[in-house]
Amino acid sequence: MNFDLSDEQKMLAEQANGLLAERSPPDRLRQLIDAGAEWDEPLWRELAEMGFLGAAIPEQFGGVGMTRLDLAVISEELGRANAALPFFSSIVLAAEAIMLAGSEEQKARWLPALASGDTIATFAYAEGPGGWTADVLTAQVRDGVLDGQKGPVADAGIASLAIVLAHDGSGQPTLGLVSLDHPGVTRTKLASFDQLRAHYELRFDGVPFEPLAAAPADEVLAKLFDLAAVQAAFEAVGGADACLKMARDYAMDRQIFGRPLAGYQAIKHKLADIFVAIELARSSAFYAAWAATYGEEELPAAAAAARLSATGAFEQAARENIQVHGGIGYTFEANCHFYYRRERTLATAIGNREVWANRLIDSFLTQNANVAEVA
């Protein structure tokens, strides 16, 4: 057994970490917020040049052809830096959807543009609260044309392409490519809790819809979200780790009643618990990334478990980080708030705790169906 990243993966992490620490420090994030920017465009270009965007896209489609585990290493670093990039929308969701379900022609048309960063895509599945099963979807495709409303959709202000989940009139879900530059698309910007990730409502009035047809949409969607959950888990672990380090460093410096705040057990034990939560979550994320790469059958349960653990760890770390900082933590000048906001975004994107708890239980039962019959 060798349950660790390879030396190459560790180097990849270092590379990504170095770039992001230099180009996307907290002051840069504050600058972007003040400028009302929806992303860090120059940073996106640099990531593309380093091959990070196309890491898991096959070489024949303009990518680097590495595994999803390698992509996860990058996701963790993006989480640590709290980067303002459409990586999750464009790479983790849209590019992966095309890889899973696109025709060869669709892959050849879109993947190179996504890997190079020239095209930004997003993934439109939600229609407000109430889930996204076919029976509740209102967005509808008829004769190759999409009508209806989707939202919130992340990064839809900067994306030119969307993969949209709709129903086909007969109660079946369908996934397809939609150009957001078509005149029948209306984009309305929403107030976004995460100041570094914009969300939009999209209206479609008679917009051409090109199905991704290599597999039934519900199967594609389930697999896609499992894979995305793995990346989200790494991103959350990265964010949680950044919070823990920040809280620890602050507590070491801060003098209270004549000694460092870090010397008080209330703080030591709080941070020890967060460390445990992070390392447990990281372990499950490793396993899920391994399953995403090599172990199809284990993926659904492994992804759900990693998702739940990582979300919990980030939640705890983001909240307690502000707490340890005291009043400073409540200021825009301190860096805690980026993570406090991003954490909620990650915790709700691609399904909240309830969704993933159900996914975990259901996939556990499927995976162990024979055991249940014996018992």
Residue selected from 120, 196, 305, 346 as contacting another protein according to rule CB under 8 A = 305
Check binding of 229 to another protein (CB under 8 A).
Answer: no
- Between the two ends of the chain, the Cα-to-Cα distance in Å is 31
Check binding of 256 to another protein (CB under 8 A).
Answer: no
Check binding of 286 to another protein (CB under 8 A).
Answer: yes
3-state secondary structure string across 233-293: HHHHHHHHHHHHHHHHHHHHHCEECCEEHHHCHHHHHHHHHHHHHHHHHHHHHHHHHHHHH
d(CA 229, CA 271): 25
Residue selected from 17, 140, 149, 283 as contacting another protein according to rule CB under 8 A = 283
Minimum CB distance to another protein smaller for 23 or for 268: 268
Q: Give the number of residues in contact with another protein, rule: CB under 8 A.
A: 55
What values do phi and psi take at 149, rounded to 5? -130, 140
Q: Return the closest-CA partner of residue 288 out of 68, 79, 96.
A: 68
Burial of 145 (0-12, 13-18, 19+ CB in 10 A): middle
Minimum CB distance to another protein smaller for 34 or for 279: 279
Q: Between 63 and 82, how does the x/- string for binding to another protein read (CB under 8 A)?
A: ------x-------------
Check binding of 328 to another protein (CB under 8 A).
Answer: no
Stretch that binds another protein, among 148-156, 224-232, 266-274, 330-338 (CB under 8 A): 266-274
- Cis ω for the linkage preceding 42 (within 30 of 0): no
Check binding of 257 to another protein (CB under 8 A).
Answer: no
| Exposure on the CB side of residue 30, measured as CA atoms within 13 A | 10
d(CA 35, CA 33): 5
Check binding of 236 to another protein (CB under 8 A).
Answer: no
Residues that bind another protein (CB under 8 A): 1-6, 69, 244, 248, 251-252, 259-260, 262-263, 265, 267-269, 271-273, 275-276, 279-281, 283-284, 286-287, 289-290, 293, 301-302, 304-306, 308-309, 312, 353-354, 356-358, 360-361, 364-365, 368, 371-372, 375
